[in-house]
Amino acid sequence: MNLYLRYFDNETLVSSVDEAIEFLAGIDQIGMNAALEADIREYVASDVFYPKRYKIRPRVYFIIIKTEAATMQDFKEKKAVHNGGESVKERNASPAVLKLNETLPGWYEGSIDFKRVLLIPSTGKFQYRDAHFVARVKANSGIDCYNRMVDHLRERVDERSQFPSAKGKNFKFVYLGRAKD
């Protein structure tokens, strides 16, 4: 594991925490002290792979990034980015989103929380109200279940009603099983 350090135009790639501390101690503006050194050692020893930013004074920072890159060129070209064994798509997507497009024909139970436009009889004005809708749908995937439910609702509620994204927390679905033909 190597460490990339940068403070304005001063940057380096080192292979140990001692080299990193030596680099930072050579920059007068940083003001290396025992507390800062202990915090850097703790960060390097931890399992955290997020970049660490240290404040020197208002709006002035230096950063430390853990990397697998062997050279500065590899680091700059992002050839050794640590990803925990997952692809970028898997890291950025929740498990529900990954299952959304999985083709599995059969019965689904979907639930949608949406904003429904309703007429208030006493005032004659319209108002958004939270609504919950649950349905069992014959579909080919989670996204197909969502589309069928929203199409059904659009025919029956005011056109100004607002439906959530299929990828958000306001739509959930469960695969119930294969449909009999």
Backbone torsions φ then ψ of 149, nearest 5 degrees: -65, -45
pLDDT of residue 131: 94
Contact, 110 vs 135, CB < 8 A? yes
Nearest to 150 by CA among 106, 159, 129, 94: 159
For helices 17-25 and 34-45, give the axis angle rounded to 10 degrees.
150
pLDDT of residue 168: 86
Contact, 51 vs 61, CB < 8 A? no
pLDDT of residue 74: 83
Largest CA distance in the chain: 76
pTM: 0.49
CA 18 → CA 76, 136, 138, 158, distances in Å? 23, 61, 62, 66
pLDDT of residue 59: 87
Residue corresponding to tokens 């429904």: 116
pLDDT tens track, the chain, 181 positions: 889 889 888 899 999 999 999 999 998 888 888 988 999 999 999 888 888 888 888 888 889 999 888 888 888 887 665 555 454 444 555 566 778 888 889 999 999 999 999 999 999 999 999 999 999 999 999 999 999 999 999 999 998 999 999 988 899 999 988 877 6
CA 150 → CA 131, 132, 147, 166, distances in Å? 13, 12, 5, 10
